[in-house]
Amino acid sequence: MFNIGEFNLYPLQGGITNMDGGAMFGVVPRPLWTKKYPCNERNQIPLVCHPILIQNNNHNMIIDTGVGNGKFTEKQKRNYGATYESDIHGSLEQFNLTVDDIDIVIMSHMHFDHACGLTTPDGQSVFKNAVIYTSQIEWNEMRAPNIRSKSTYWEENHKNIEHQVVTFKDEFEVIPGITMKHTGGHSAGHSVIEIESNGEKAVHMADIFPTFAHLNPLWVTAYDDYPMDSINAKERLIQKYIKENYWFLFYHDINHFAVKIDDETRKIKNDIRRDELIEV
Q: What is the pLDDT of residues 64-83, one digit of tens each?
A: 999 999 999 999 999 999 99
pTM for the model: 0.97
What is the SS3 string spanning the chain? CEEECCEEEEECCCCEEEEEHHHHHCCCCHHHHCCCCCCCCCCEEEEECCCEEEECCCCEEEECCCCCCCCCCHHHHHHHCCCECCCHHHHHHCCCCCHHHCCEEECCCCCHHHHHHHECCCCCECCCCCEEEEEHHHHHHHHCCCCCHHHCCCHHHCCCCHHHEEEECCEEEEECCEEEEECCCCCCCCEEEEEEECCEEEEECHHHCCCHHHCCCCCCCCCCCCHHHHHHHHHHHHHHHHHCCCEEECCCCCCEEEEEECCCCCCEEEEEEHHHCCCC
Domain span including residue 106: 2-276
Number of separate domains in the chain: 1
* Predicted local distance difference test score (pLDDT) of residue 49: 98
- Enumerate the β-bridge partners of residue 84: 16
* Predicted local distance difference test score (pLDDT) of residue 258: 99
Q: What tens digit of pLDDT does each residue of 137-195 get?
A: 999 999 999 999 999 999 999 999 999 999 999 999 999 999 999 999 999 999 999 99
- Kindly report the backbone phi and psi dihedral angles of residue 106, in degrees, each rounded to the nearest multiple of 5, phi listed first: -110, 115
Q: What percent of the chain has pLDDT over 90?
A: 99
Distances (CA, A) of 66 to 16, 50, 114, 137: 9, 6, 5, 21
Pairing of strands 165-168, 131-135: parallel
* Predicted local distance difference test score (pLDDT) of residue 279: 87
* Predicted local distance difference test score (pLDDT) of residue 126: 98
- Enumerate the β-bridge partners of residue 173: 179
CA atoms of 179 and 216, how far apart (whole Å): 24
The overall average pLDDT reported for the chain is 98
Looking up residue 159, the CATH number of its domain turns out to be: 3.60.15.10
- Kindly report the backbone phi and psi dihedral angles of residue 37, in degrees, each rounded to the nearest multiple of 5, phi listed first: -150, 95
* Predicted local distance difference test score (pLDDT) of residue 94: 95
pLDDT band at 1 (very low <50, low <70, confident <90, very high): confident
* Predicted local distance difference test score (pLDDT) of residue 57: 96
* Predicted local distance difference test score (pLDDT) of residue 123: 92
* Predicted local distance difference test score (pLDDT) of residue 210: 99
- Enumerate the β-bridge partners of residue 59: none
Q: Of the candidates 23, 4, 20, 6, which has an alpha carbon nearest to the alpha carbon of residue 204?
A: 4
Q: What percent of the chain has pLDDT over 70?
A: 100
Q: What tens digit of pLDDT does each residue of 245-272 get?
A: 999 999 999 999 999 999 999 999 999 9
Q: What value does the mean pLDDT take over residues 53-58? A: 98
Q: Of the candidates 99, 84, 66, 65, which has an alpha carbon nearest to the alpha carbon of residue 17?
A: 84
Q: Is the pLDDT of residue 280 over 90?
A: no
